[in-house]
Amino acid sequence: DTVFLNGDYVAKANAKISVLDRGFLFADGVYEVIPVYRGKPFRVKEHLNRLFDSLRQINLSSPYSESQWLEIITRVIVKNLNVHGDNQSIYLQVTRGIDSDRQHTVSGPLPATVLVMASKLTTGESTLKGEKATLLEDIRWLHCDIKSIALLANTLLVNQAKANGFDEAILHRQQWLTEGASSNVFLVNNGQVLTPPKSQYILGGITRDLIIELCQASGLEVCQRRVHIKELLDADEVWICSSTREISPIIAIDDKIIGSGRIGATTRRMAAALQAFKS
């Protein structure tokens, strides 16, 4: 298991960072998760563009150019082929670096701390499984479009969901759907596909963008607008999506059965379109 840490390729067990790293002390950093299929990073340019956008929003300059990132990612993939196989999930994190002391105010420009590591990607060709979600209040901050490593609200919410027997927490702000704790949400109602628009309240998912393109290519318009939770619960179909979960059908939200309680036709069609696009 080899990771990239600040210019070196080292064994995961030996990869260490300082206690003064601002990522460790303040969650002062951003990240990406990039799926790898058959050894190739998927939609990697889109992921890197989002990384550059997250970095810009927290006033950090990228420690590497696009081509340098591509080289690092490729090397991490190759070094881990014998450990994780050729379907991997690449985790990439950039923090503001190691400061002179634990102080809120940054002491000046610091060399960023950069970590790139791989793990096994378990999604893929496997058959679709209907999942259950719980609807919870979105208690996160107001810049959810930044892929921040500060994920305390997200982890508290999903752990609460898991403890109650659900697979994902679907979040709302004052009854308006935002997204999942680590996914975006789509619904189908009377043949129309709906998803909340990109805003400061959601992360603009790379999978979300791709699904919108795939819907349009197959003649399905996607309406990006505010969605009330009543509409969500009354939907014919709901799915969540992310780089690691692809399209996951939601067949129940709390004690409400969605549609027929089975995986819907549009969900199946888009999941098949996504599999076809990958290969």
Candidate list 184, 195, 248, 267; residue touching ligand PDD; CB under 6 A: 184
DSSP per position, 98-112? B-SSS-SS--S--PP
Instruction: Please tell me whether residue 206 binds ligand PDD under the rule CB under 6 A.
Output: yes
Q: How far apart, in whole angstroms, are the C-alpha atoms of residue 23 and residue 58?
A: 13
Segment 131 to 150, residues that bind ligand PDD, using CB under 6 A: none
Instruction: Please tell me whether residue 252 binds ligand PDD under the rule CB under 6 A.
Output: no
Candidate list 2, 113, 134, 242; residue touching ligand PDD; CB under 6 A: 242
Residue type, 11: A
Beta bridge partners of 40: 37
Candidate list 244, 268, 269, 274; residue touching ligand PDD; CB under 6 A: 244
Q: How far is the CB of 102 from ligand PDD (least distance, A)?
A: 26
Name the token pair of 211: 């699904």
Only one of the segments 75-83, 95-103, 120-128, 238-246 lies at the binding site for ligand PDD (rule: CB under 6 A); that segment is 238-246
Owner of token pair 């109650």: 164
Q: How far is the CB of 99 from ligand PDD (least distance, A)?
A: 25
Instruction: Please tell me whether residue 207 binds ligand PDD under the rule CB under 6 A.
Output: yes
**With contact defined as beta carbons under 8 Å apart, do 131 and 246 qualify?**
no
Q: Which residues in the chain belong to E strands, given as ranges?
A: 2-5, 8-11, 29-37, 40-41, 88-95, 113-120, 131-137, 168-173, 176-180, 184-189, 192-195, 222-224, 237-242, 246-253, 256-257
Only one of the segments 66-74, 181-189, 226-234, 270-278 lies at the binding site for ligand PDD (rule: CB under 6 A); that segment is 181-189
Burial label, 66 (beta-carbon count in 10 A; 0-12, 13-18, 19+):
middle
Nearest alpha carbon to residue 204 among 36, 29, 54, 27: 54
Give me the catalytic one of 129, 147, 230, 278. 147
Cβ-based nearer residue to ligand PDD, 98 or 214: 214
Answer yes or no: 147 catalytic: yes
Instruction: Please tell me whether residue 178 binds ligand PDD under the rule CB under 6 A.
Output: no
Cβ-based nearer residue to ligand PDD, 99 or 249: 249
Instruction: Please tell me whether residue 183 binds ligand PDD under the rule CB under 6 A.
Output: yes
Could you give the residue numbers annotated as active site? Answer: 147
- In the complex, the residues that contact ligand PDD under the rule CB under 6 A are 33, 179, 182-184, 203, 205-208, 242-244
